[in-house]
Chains A and B, each alone.
Chain A
Amino acid sequence: MASINLLIAVCLTYVAFLFLVAFAAERAAARGRGNWLRSPLVYTLSLSIYCTAWTFYGAVGYAARSGMEFITIYLGPSLVMIGWWWFLRKLVRVGRTQRVTSVADLISSRYGKSNVLAIVVTIMAVIGVTPYIALQLQSVTLSLSIFSDPTGTTDGGMNLVSAGFWVALGLALFTVLFGTRNLNANERHNGVVIAIAVEAVVKLVALLAVGIFVVWGVAGGISEMMVRIDNSDIGQWQVDGSRWTALTVLSGAAFLCLPRMFQVLVVENDDERHLHIASWAFPIYLMMMSLFVVPIAVVGLDLLPENSNPDLFVLTVPLSQGQGGLAILSFLGGFSSATSMVIVATLALSTMVSNHVVMPIWLSFQGQGATVSGDVRNVVIFARRVSILVIIALGYLYYRVSGGSGALAAIGLISFIGVAQFLPAMIGGIFWRGATRVGALTGLLVGFAIWTYTSLLPSFGADVVLSFPLLEQGPFGVEWLRPQALFGIKGIDPTVHAVLWSLLLNTSGFIFGSLVSFPKPLERLQGAQFVNVFANSGHAHGWSGSAAQSEDLMVMAQRILGGAEAQKLFRREAQIQGHDRYLPEPTPDFLQRVEREMSASVGAATAHAMISQLVGGASVSVQDLMAVADESAQMLEYSNQLEAKSSELLDTARQLRDVNAKLTQISVQKDAFLSQISHELRTPMTSIRSFSEILRDGHELKASVQTKYASIIHVEAIRLTRLLDDLLDLSVLENGQVSLNTETGSLADVIGHAVTTTQAGAIKQIKIDVSDLDTSIELHTDLDRLAQVFINLISNAQKYCKSPEPKLFIKATKTDNEVCIFLTDNGLPIPMETHALIFEKFSRINDQDGSGAGLGLAICREIMIRLGGEIDYVPAARGNRFVLRLPV
């Protein structure tokens, strides 16, 4: 008979062996020699964590109590695996392309990265799985107790409870060590997977050994065994169709939805082709696990006393036959089942808790300043470790509080129904594009509520949580609300009842919620990616095997970061990579950098999703991504547009005002101009008409008076002619219609001609001093036009210079590129305020003389412009100075 101490020594040795295996696997993987770690065989064996202590011990107990029904627990997963190409393949593909880390992550990212959904699923999973973990701890301590009390009628002493504590602690330590060694993007754990594969072998070998012993060692052969079975109660059990269907569906659903199953099926999956092999290998494994369940149960019922716990027949049958070694092997099988389940389940749950509960809270406390860097990784790892400890502590607590009561299978089924509530949201998520966040949330909450009410709470037994009258008569005496007979449907099995109502109402809520709500852009996009995961991706690639197009990356980065910013980032990277091309290679480092830059704008999740879509064999086209980028940019753009519009309006209004003011000004100028011309023309005409009438009417005028009046007519006629000439001249000059007659000549000659013209017949003489004039200056320009300028300027000086000794100095300088001519008089400087006006038409500064129309300087300016030069007025120290510049 094996002693407890020996057993504990064996346990510790076994655990140490597992540590060693896991450690070796991690080392091998780290050195890149871990290909064998990812073989289809390992994948198939890792799926065996479906077979927990519940299956190892409980299946026999189940068979002893309910006959062949235990088969359903194997039937569901087998059907799922056989029909892998329908659902599982798609789930795995989605999980890989979307880099899903857990069930919560899957559901959350399908429905638009909803954090609320992630939290709901996480909480549901923790609540659903905690009893399951407690179950494993219970089975380990219970099996230990067998060795101190082989009849299996008591629960063991206090030292076993403390053993439970040590088991929990050891499991926590193992999970922390191998589950959170590093934070891989792909969330894969080589050490853990290889350890559970080893445990899968151990539990299968143990169960087969016990089975073989029972059939050939106890019963004496297959035919004798068959006789025993036919004679036992198990052979007589009736098959309850509804229960069978319900349990098969349930176990299939749980196989997909259990966090630990999702972890090994999807997250730890390295190659989709492994699924193909596992689809037949895993059902074979399950078949082998169930092969000897009935014989062991039948023999146990035959051999052992009536009050023996059938859940422990796997141990107690060998013990009762004096097979201590076999019992220890069997114990290790059960121990393996329990530990592998606890390790992977806590691993999966801790990922969910840290990713969806702890990290969002931590980040929100960090505020805007948080960036993705090393310290965040440390926080994540720390959060995972704490989560693992807390979850295992919760399981231990549940185990201590529940006092280890209830059949193993019953607790397991309750967990199954709980996690099966994820199924509608999962199936709908990858098959129905119309599924929305609201629908998923509605379905999950409804299903969870029904499960709690009809399955979880009643499982504690009457009067623990739900009072006995409530169970019997419904809350407030409302019969149709009775937890185990909802809506008046009585007389069906409580498990079937809970499965039926929770999944039915869950699915209805999911469909109804999806139909009445409208998905957000991200939901639509994610929906398309999930549902059409096969449409666009040829074969799922890893991060490293990417074929990201730098151009696509650039286009996307530009949409998010803005053109200049994105180009800067890419150019800098291209320089770092050492080639002068514009686009850098999409190395993993660079992808991370782009993602980081983008996450500052669109949030980390979206940025990661976008980059990984682009890089990791995108299941959506770049156009789809652009649509999302555009959609998210729309709000921003819209507000920018509004801002731009209002400033545009202001701008337009201002321009209109300006134009209006200009038009008004032009209109005023035109009126003023017409008035001026009219005045200038009509004034001399008035004199001419008046005096010609006087002369015509013959007023007996003296000859001298007649002559005087005739000469007035003459002068005014000349004035009129000159005015018309000037106006025509100006008009031609202003319209640019003037044709220049360019010739070469001496400046001195031009000025001499002008002086002669002005001096001839002038009433007032002005002394013109040209002594400083450089006579060597030659000009190549329209000399007649230039002479006209000088004539105007000299005659102005003649008319307006009020000095007692009027003088005009003319001199010129020549530089490399221009000739400067200065005309300076000694008259009174014109008033400062009229400086700006003197070159304007009709701007007569001194109106006293009245003879000029005020067009002379305007003509001068126009001529100088036509000649390519300019004219300026400068007030001189004593007098006025005009400066002419001409290009050489």
Chain B
Amino acid sequence: MKKRVLLVEDEPNIIEAITFLLSREGWHVDTQTDGATAVKRVRELQPDLLMLDHMLPGKSGLDILIELRSDDQFLALPILMLTARGQMRDRAEAEAAGVSRFMTKPFSNTEVLAAVRDLTRN
């Protein structure tokens, strides 16, 4: 059974790039552009990995992270957060909220794939 990743991202071109990269690695990629319904989507899909943009319409990536981590069910869920804002404070806040990995855009493909592998190694 294929591992599932949920990608929460509002930039179509970035969705395309990541989907391309992870599919080739054998992931089943689900996408979600709206922040407001993202948590609900996670509950439905029960993904093995969550990739989360920081700046989303409806609800910020940080708020989604906090909400998920407050649920015991998602304490161990690997969450890779991507941000384009480049603020030190964002990283600190995300780490305090229990992010698994925090990456700043633009990333290199190798970096992203290494991180994904690292996070999902049993």
Residues of chain A with a CB closer than 8 A to B1's CB: none
B108 x A691 contact (CB < 8 A): no
Q: How long is the Cα–Cα vector from A689 to B24 in the complex, in angstroms?
A: 18
- Give min CB distance, B108 to chain A, whole Å: 6
7 contacts between A and B (CB under 8 A): A675-B86, A678-B86, A686-B84, A694-B17, A694-B20, A694-B109, A847-B57
User: Can you list, as one digit per residue, whether each of A672-703 has a CB less than 8 Å from chain B (1) or not (0)?
Assistant: 00110011011111111111011001010000
Choose one: B18, B24, B84; the contact of A699 (CB below 8 Å): B24
In angstroms, how far is the closest chain B Cβ from the Cβ of A156? Answer: 120
Contact A685 B106 (CB under 8 A): yes
A687 adjacent to B13 (CB under 8 Å): yes
Which residues on the A side are within 8 Å of B17 (C-beta)? 686-687, 690-691, 694
Q: Give the contacts of A820-853 with B (CB-CB under 8 A).
A: 847-848, 850
Tally of chain A residues near chain B (CB < 8 A): 26
Cβ proximity bits B84-115 to A, threshold 8 Å, 1 near / 0 not:
11110000000000000000111111100000
For residue A449, CB closer than 8 A to chain B, the reply is: no
Tell me, yes or no, whether B63 is within 8 Å of chain A by CB: no
In contact, A690 and B107 (Cβ under 8 angstroms): yes
A671 within 8 A of B: yes
Q: Are A697 and B84 in contact (CB under 8 A)?
A: no
Give the chain A neighbours of B21 by CB distance below 8 A: 690, 694
CB of A689 within 8 A of CB of B87, answer no
* Residues 53-92 of B contacting A (Cβ, < 8 Å): 55, 57, 84-87
A718 vs chain B, min Cβ distance (A) = 13
A268 interface contact, C-beta 8 A: no
Say yes or no for A716: interface residue by CB 8 A criterion: yes
A693 touching B87, Cβ below 8 Å: no
Q: How far is the CA of A679 from the CA of B60 in the complex (A)?
A: 14
Do A687 and B20 form a contact, CB below 8 Å, given A678-B86, A682-B106, A693-B109? no
Q: Decide if A712 is an interface residue (CB 8 Å cutoff).
A: yes
Q: Are A683 and B14 in contact (CB under 8 A)?
A: yes
1/0 per residue, CB under 8 A from A, across B1-34: the answer is 0000000001111101110110010000000000
Q: What's the nearest-Cβ distance from chain B to residue A382, in Å?
A: 90
Among candidates A681, A716, A847, residue contacting B13 with C-beta atoms closer than 8 Å: A716
**Nearest B residue to A693 by beta-carbon distance?**
B109
Nearest CB in chain B to that of A681: its residue: B84
Residues in A with CB closer than 8 Å to B84 are 678-679, 681-683, 686
A691 with B13: CB separation less than 8 A: yes
User: Taking CB as reference atom, which chain A residue is nearest B85?
Assistant: A675
Chain B nearest Cβ from A389, distance in angstroms: 98
Q: How far is the CB of B82 from chain A (nearest CB, A)?
A: 8
Question: Which one of A682, A693, A847, A850 contacts B105 once the chains associate, using CB atoms below 8 Å?
Answer: A682
Residue of A674, A687, A716, A850 ringed by the most chain B CB atoms within 10 A: A687
Residues of B within 8 A of A (CB): 10-14, 16-18, 20-21, 24, 55, 57, 84-87, 104-110
A712 proximity list for chain B (CB < 8 A) = 13, 16
Nearest-CB distance from B93 to chain A (Å)? Answer: 13
CB closest chain-A residue, reference B55: A679
User: Which chain B residues lie closer than 8 Å to A687 at the CB level?
Assistant: 11, 13-14, 17
- Give the residues in chain A near B20, CB-CB below 8 Å: 694
The distance from the CB of B49 to the nearest CB of chain A, in whole angstroms, is: 18
Chain A to chain B: the 10 pairs with minimum beta-carbon distance, closest first: A682-B84, A690-B17, A687-B13, A686-B106, A686-B105, A678-B86, A689-B106, A679-B84, A675-B85, A685-B106
Cα of A683 to Cα of B87 in the assembled complex, Å: 15
A847 & B10 in contact (Cβ 8 Å cutoff): yes
Which among B14, B105, B108 has the greatest number of chain A C-beta atoms within 10 A? B105
B10→A850 contact, CB < 8 A? yes
- Complex Cα spacing A683 to B57, Å: 15
CB neighbours (8 Å) of A697 from chain B are 109
Contact A690 B57 (CB under 8 A): no
A-side contacts of B106, CB under 8 Å:
682, 685-686, 688-690
Residues in B neighbouring A699, C-beta threshold 8 A: 24
Least Cβ–Cβ distance between A560 and chain B, in angstroms? 64
Distance between Cα atoms of A848 and B12 in the complex (Å): 10
Bound: A684/B107 CA distance, A = 12
Query: In the assembly, what is the distance between CA of A674 and CA of B17, in Å?
Result: 26
- Inside 8 A of B57's CB, which chain A residues have their CB? 847-848
Contacts of A688 in B (CB 8 A): 106
Select which of B12, B24, B87, B104 is within 8 A of A850 by beta carbon: B12
* Closest Cβ–Cβ distance, residue A676 to chain B (whole Å): 8
> Are B86 and A686 closer than 8 Å at their CB atoms?
no
On whether the beta carbons of B24 and A690 are closer than 8 Å, the reply is: no
Residue on B nearest A687 in the bound complex, by CB: B13
**Cα distance A681–B14 when bound, in Å?**
14
Interface flags for A702-735 (1: CB within 8 Å of B; 0: not) read 0000000000100110000000000000000000
- Whether B105 lies near A683 (C-beta < 8 A) is yes
Report the minimal beta-carbon distance from A490 to chain B, rounded to whole angstroms. 104
Q: Which residue from B13, B24, B87, B104 sits with its C-beta under 8 Å from A674? A: B87
CA of A65 to CA of B14, assembled, Å: 140
